[in-house]
Amino acid sequence: MSKYTATLIDNETGEKIELDILHPTQGPRAIDVTRLYRQTGILTYDPGFMSTASCWSDITYLDGEEGLLEYRGYPIQELAEQGSYMETCYLLLNGELPNAEQLEEFSGQIVHHTMLHEQIKRFYSGFRRDAHPMATMVGVVGALSAFYHEYMDIHDEKNRYETAILLIAKMPTIAAWSYRYANGVPFMYPDNKLGYAENFLHMMFALPSEEYTVDPLMARALEVILITHADHEQNASTSTVRLAGSSEVNPFAAISAGIASLWGPAHGGANEAVVRMLMEIRDSGKPLEYFVDKAKDKSNKFRLMGFGHRVYKNYDPRAKILRELCHKIIDKSPLASEHKVLLDIAMELEGVALEDEYFISRKLYPNVDFYSGIILLSMGIPMNMFTVMFAMARTVGWVAHWHEMMGDDKTRIARPRQLYTGKTHRDYVLVDMR
């Protein structure tokens, strides 16, 4: 029993119900309605989980009003400026930053698992060359359950941790191969002398016939992209992984479901949509105000992509980090002048929107997707790979949440209820009588 309770008075029946108020270490309190239905026969209604906490979690904290994001208590800015993606993965999975020895051991474990079973290659050739790489990724990651699940006990903490390592390690190979297959270019095997980000760039861009050296600036840019996208508490794809995982399905199937959820333009697919919008603005020759007005017009379907967030009512801290990074790398891009135009439009659009009463009153600030696409483009990553990059980065968040959920004795199979709006009972009528 919690120290504090809230009293719900049912004005229809006069019944009074005491509900516990739950206190997390940070963030809003919650009313515990778990026993509400059993005690009263009343459900709660909250489409889209606008006011619902679905679990307890120690992993990531975000304060939408303040624009604050912390992984296990560490601010995202500090991790992005000073940390590495490997440290971030260790932190998210284990709860603490690794010391030098732990980091070396962890990175070694990841490196050990970067290869894919040789037969997995054949899955790629089953896809059309023009398949979206996210479609390929959903399929290939789901197929991992046919290769690596048999001897794994999802109720065993050690087994789950090993699965997490395996998934983080294999994701860059799966992602890069989706791109290589679509382009008819031979797959590059991982080079385990390279770091995580370098290895991905090598598998994306190297050719077996040529020398390829990873540009350290691009590798660092990718590290920052990976760190800033690594976790974001109970977003749609993470909730999908938890929901799918709650039936005790194997983790590869659950992560594949998460990738599918991330793909949508309302979630991870937004980074691609932002760049398409910036290109549309550039090619139209129309002033920015025209697009801003269009976005404000409710009868028009056009929306400013990359603005606003369900939780942030302030500047998304990740967008600030990525805006800076954009400036650092844009001139190094092979198509610098072309990409610079997009960055200029983005900056100008941000300026116009942040001064406009419509956006101010609705607290619509740039989110993580607003600048990430321009960075990826500057790195030579094609647009249809943007969400794949997001999926690669978010894999650690998904597996960390899955691992946490499976070890939580409060976990139950996710089974929401509904408010039925259909017909009430009626009797079957024979077909020739209808």
The footprint of ligand MLT (CB under 6 A) covers: 232, 235, 267, 309-310, 368
Active-site hit among 202, 309, 339, 403: 309
The long-range contacts involving 115-123, CB below 8 angstroms and separated by at least 24 positions, are 115/170, 115/173, 115/189, 115/190, 116/170, 116/173, 116/174, 116/177, 117/147, 117/148, 119/147, 120/144, 120/147, 121/177, 121/187
Active-site hit among 113, 132, 339, 369: 369
Q: Is 10 a catalytic site residue? A: no
Cβ closest to ligand MLT, residue 160 vs residue 318: 318
Cβ closest to ligand MLT, residue 28 vs residue 208: 28
Q: How many CB atoms are located within 10 Å of the residue 373 CB?
A: 29
SS3 assignment, position 253: helix
Q: Is 369 a catalytic site residue? A: yes
Cβ closest to ligand MLT, residue 77 vs residue 109: 77
What gap in Å lies between CA 160 and CA 404, rounded to an integer? Answer: 10
What's the number of CA atoms in the CB half-sphere (13 Å) around residue 27? 22
CB of 45 to ligand MLT, least distance (A): 21
**How buried is 294 (Cβ within 10 angstroms: 0-12 exposed, 13-18 middle, 19+ buried)?**
middle
CB of 38 to ligand MLT, least distance (A): 31
CB of 267 to ligand MLT, least distance (A): 6
CB of 90 to ligand MLT, least distance (A): 20
What's the token pair of residue 13? 């029946």
Cβ closest to ligand MLT, residue 368 vs residue 388: 368
What's the token pair of residue 429? 């009528």
CB of 312 to ligand MLT, least distance (A): 8
Cβ closest to ligand MLT, residue 173 vs residue 387: 387
What gap in Å lies between CA 422 and CA 233, rounded to an integer? Answer: 35
Note whether 204 and 187 are within 8 A (CB): no
The angle at the Cα of 226, spanning 162 to 114, to the nearest 5 degrees, equals 40
Catalytic positions: 309, 369
